[in-house]
Each structure stands twice: as C-alpha cells, then as structure tokens.
Amino acid sequence: MDTTLQDPLVGQLLDGRYRVEARIAVGGMATVYRAVDTRLDRVLALKVMHPALAADAAFVERFIREAKSVARLAHPNVVGVFDQGAQGAYVYLAMEYVAGCTLRDVLRDRGALQPRAALDILEPVLAALGAAHRAGFVHRDMKPENVLIGDDGRVKVADFGLVRAVDTVTSTTGTLLGTVSYLAPEQIEHGTADPRVDVYACGVVLYEMLTGAKPHTGETPAQVLYRHLNEDVPPPSAAVPGLAAALDDLVAAATARNPELRPYDAVALLGMVQEARAALADEQLDAVPPQARTVEQSGTEDRTSVIPRALPAEDAVHRTSRLEMAPLPPHPPQSAHPPRRRRSRRGPIAIVAALLLVLGLGAGVWYINSGQFTRVPSLLGQTQKEAKARLASAGLDVKKINHDFSDSYTRGTVMASDPTSGTRIRDNGSVTITVSDGPRVVTVPDVTGKTLAEARAELKRKGLAPGLVTREFNDSVDQGSVISTDPAPGTERNADSAVAITVSKGSPVDVPGVIGETEDDARSALEDEGFKVVIAPERVDSAEDEGSVAQQSPAEDAQAAAGDTITLTISNGPKPVEVPDVVGESIADATKDLKEAGFDVKVDRAFPFLSDTIASQSVDGGETALQGDTITIKTKGL
C-alpha cells in the first residue's frame, strides 16, 4: 500500500513555494519529502520536523540556528541546505535532492562489502565530516541511513539535524539525542559530543560495511548501550576471516572506548584510512566476503531517538514512550570476542549505577521532588487562556505575559515559558509566558528603477533577504537599474524571505565584426560602440595578417550590453602548411580535406555534370602553401 496517499502534506504547496510530491523517508526527528521549488523550477528534498517536536520552542530555535550554520558548509560531500522556513506546525528545511539510495539500502541488499568499496564510501564521508569539524561542528548522528549514494556514484552526508558547535560538548542532565547502535561511550555516559563521537560512529559504520553486521547488538537498546560502555568493538576479521590486519587496526583506532586514544577528528582518521589503503595490495582490497549476510534491522536501534539520561523516578513511567528500553537483564550478554584494549574495571555497583542512569531509574529522587516543589506544566502551543488554567491547576500563577513574532506558533498560542516546561519550581511560584503574535509579515517594497545596491539595502532595511539576481536587456530601464522583483511590490512575505531581483542590461548593442582589422582599428571600432576591449595573452596562427585580429568573442552580430567586454585574439600570421593530395577524390571530399588544412578552395569543372573526380590541383599534394591560400582543383575531362 502506498502510504504517501495518507500523508496530509503530499500534494500540498508548502509556504506558497514548495509543491510536495512524495514521501521519501520517515525518521525519528522528521519526515523527508521529494518536492518541487515552484519559484526556481527545481526538484529538492524537504525535511519537515515532526509536529510533536515543532511544539518545543527551544528545539525549533536550535533547528533553525543549526540549519543556518550547516548551510555555510559548502562541501561537495555534504547535502546542501537551500532554505528554511515554517508554515503553521510545519517547520522545514529545503535541501539538495540526491537521486539514489542510502548506505543502509546497500547493506540491506548486499550485506558485507569488499574492502575497496567500503573505503571508497568511507573516504568522502570523512571528507564531509572533516569539513564540518574544522568549521566547528559535530554531526552526532552518523549512521548508514545518513550516507547517501547518488545514481552518479557521488557520496554525500545528510541530516545534520543534530549538529552542534564543537565547544558545546557536555550536558549532564536531560536527554541524549542519537542512534543507539552508533553512540560513543562518552555520549552515553556523560553527554559529551566532540568530533571524536563522529569518529567512533564512523568506525562502527566501517565495521558494518566490512562484516555486514553491527558490532554490538542486543534484544533491547539497553543491552546495546551496555556493550558500547563495556565491550570493545571486535576486529572485523573475527567475523570475516582473511580481512587485512590494517582494516582491524582502523576499526580499533576509530572505536577506542577511551576517546583520548581515537583520532582527534575526521580529518585525522581520513589520513589513517588513506595510509592504510596505500599499504594494502589489490587482492586485499578486492577480497570477497565468504558469505554476504543481509542485515535485519530492529528499527529502534537505527532510528534517531530521544534517550533519557538520569531521569527522575516520577518520570520513569513515561520513559518507554520516548525510547522503549527494557530493564537490564540479570546477566548482560557477553561479547563473542575478548576486549583488545585494557581499561580500568568498573565495580558492580558502578556498573549498575551507570545503567540505572541510562534507564532513567534514579534512586531517592521521588522524595526530593514531592511536597514543597512542583513542575511547570507543558504550555507550548496552548492558548493564553488554556496556559493560565494549566498553571492554576498546578498551583502556579502567571507573572508576566510577553509577546513576540513566531513562524512556528499560531497567533495567540504560547511559544515559550520561563521557567521552561518540566522545570522544578516551588509551590505558589509564578511563570512568565511568551505569546506568539504569528509570523512577522513584511510587505515587499517597490525598488524598481533603483540601482542594485540601493535595492538590496532597501530590502534588508524592510527585513527581507536579497535573493537571486538575473540580468536582461530592457529598452526602457537604465542599465544597472532594477526592472522587477519576485515577489512583486506590495506582496506580503514572512521576514527574512528571499526576494529575487531582475536588473536591466540596457538596450542591446550589435557587436561589430573586426576580424582582419589591425589591433588599433578594431579597438577603436569597439570602443566607439561602448564596449571594453581585452586582448588575449596568447596569439594564434591564422590566415589573417600578422598583428591583425584573428578571433573575437562575442562574435560579429551577437548582442551585448554597453560596457561589456569583447576579447580579441591577435594573429601570428599564416604559417606554411602541407597541402593534402586530393587527386582522385570527389569534389566534396577534396574540398573538405583542403578546408580542414586551412585553405580556401576553388573548383574548376572541365566538363560540368560529366565528372566529379579530381584530376589535378594547383599546388601538388605534399608541397606547402600558406594558411588561407586558395587551392584550385580541377575535374577530369572526357
């Protein structure tokens, strides 16, 4: 059954611009659609945040802020971000559409890959992450689902939705975002997220490509998390005998449980991968896995999830709605392979305490959170009246009501609170709420007739973004002035929307032909028509006299604007060229051969219509003549 038929967005025009055509994929954080930008007439991908997350103002603000940051990552292996916006409950990113499949699709269909193929995929992934790391960002959710392989073979990293700044590395309370199969130990235990967590995830992905299976599995996510914390990733050669030791070393380095032992970022790991590849023989790179296994996915382990970290006991009843995590079994599953790196051993109490934190089974918190304290109820998306009622029922009152513009929240609904929802607060406390005034709507100003610089300044002053600039000839608008905008003047748009600008090139001017003229005469003729002249640095051999113009660009009779540049190429003069022997050829073939050699051709028919075969030529074949000379060819007589 085609589930896209049941999706309310399919077939809709989002934000007055993007026509949603089909649903591509559904993830833990958002749904991705194929869409058409009706303004630029191009296919793109729309990533639309799930409405439940869109109701969280802090999450939406981070989503927008991080989207703008990622948009600055101009790298051929990073999926480009074109636009960001919102319509009602739909908060979206407009991104580059990559026709092809994901690495997960490849692993599901083929199982283990040859080492050469695995490294061919890993290298561009590391190049993309390296660009992000050096720009100050961490991806935090690397997995095969986020590696796109285009039909043209290009590899691109997608879904920087969880990206964060490198210097924002630790969160000791709250929740952890990620995919359990690829989380680094420090992410699970401390919430740390620096470039080395991406390195760890890439090591897991490399293991999966080489073996066709994940290194750590379990019946529940809790078991997987336990193994990340307490078991080394086994060498891939243990699962696929015959794999080169250098590949084992790569996986071991990237997945070291101690982050200090890993390469410090993706650039460093990329260097190690390239060194390892150079040291491997062709037969090692092209080794065929003895038994390709199709990987069966559990679903939860491959989905980006909100994972509770150190939740209070009263929230434990809600934790399964955020990530279904069964209680820790009495005897955690043991790895099939002994650890390869020694670490300090954790005592049983420390292990149980760490797992209780992961599972949200905090001890002794219920008493502290009861009695004189309460929690701020969820207010986001509620009307002002509903929010007041909820606060009153919790024994709280409204301290102050602020108003602000919002692209994500309907006018009159709560978009933020201080303290935020879920915060512990004393009974009879007060809360400040911020109510949405709806999107900040801006009227597109009339900038026709203004210069491009003036138009851009005016659009920015009004709260709009100058967009794509196109230039076209116009007889009535001065060159350099604005002809029109899209949207047109008077149209209402959300703040920061892009406005395309069309600028006049003035009346078109026919380019005069100057080939064969001297450089000075050609320059004068072109400058008289208002053109600028540039002389090409290299001269060419041609039939034109030495020092005269051999080529011009644009060509004669082309249309250009006043002030445009015409490039002239000067001739070295004709050079001696060997004349081809065309005796015995047809007129057509002989003419073609001579012209290709650089000669003009004259045909002398001895008896018209009686013969088409060349009997003689004015310069014999094998002799030389100057380029541009005329060679006369004569047909046979009776």
CA distances (Å), 195 to each of 124, 168, 292, 382, in order? 16, 11, 32, 38
Helical H runs in 394-497?
452-461
| DSSP string computed for 228-265 | HHHSPPPPHHHHSTT--HHHHHHHHHHT-SSGGGS-SS
Q: State the Cα–Cα distance between residues 574 and 55, nearest whole angstrom.
A: 76
Q: Tokens at residue 6, please? A: 């049941």
Catalytic residues: 141
Helical H runs in 334-472?
348-359, 384-393, 452-461
- Give the closest residue to 177 by CA, choosing from 64, 27, 380, 67: 27
Q: State the Cα–Cα distance between residues 431 and 9, nearest whole angstrom.
A: 36
Detail the DSSP E strand segments found in 505-595. Answer: 509-510, 532-535, 549-553, 559-560, 565-570, 576-578
Strands 42-49 and 90-96: antiparallel
CA 281 to chain CA centroid, nearest Å:
34
Q: Tokens at residue 307, please? A: 């994972």
Q: State the Cα–Cα distance between residues 487 and 38, nearest whole angstrom.
A: 13
CA distances (Å), 394 to each of 153, 376, 382, 415, in order? 57, 8, 15, 19
Q: State the Cα–Cα distance between residues 393 and 386, nearest whole angstrom.
A: 11
* Burial zone of 330 (CB within 10 Å; 0-12 exposed, 13-18 middle, 19+ buried): exposed
The letter for the amino acid at 458 is E
**280 backbone φψ class: left, alpha, beta (φ>0; ψ -120 to 50):** beta
CB atoms under 10 Å from CB of 398, counted, come to 16
Q: Are 612 and 587 in contact (CB under 8 A)?
A: yes
CA 183 to chain CA centroid, nearest Å:
23
Q: Tokens at residue 210, please? A: 């080489």
Q: State the Cα–Cα distance between residues 232 and 216, nearest whole angstrom.
A: 9
391-397 own/partner pairs: CB under 8 Å, 24+ apart: 391/431, 395/427, 395/428, 396/425, 396/428, 396/429, 396/430, 396/431, 397/428, 397/430, 397/431
Residues in the chain: 638
CA 417 to chain CA centroid, nearest Å:
34
CA distances (Å), 290 to each of 113, 281, 609, in order? 11, 18, 75
Q: Are 463 and 496 in contact (CB under 8 A)?
A: yes
Q: Are 463 and 498 in contact (CB under 8 A)?
A: no
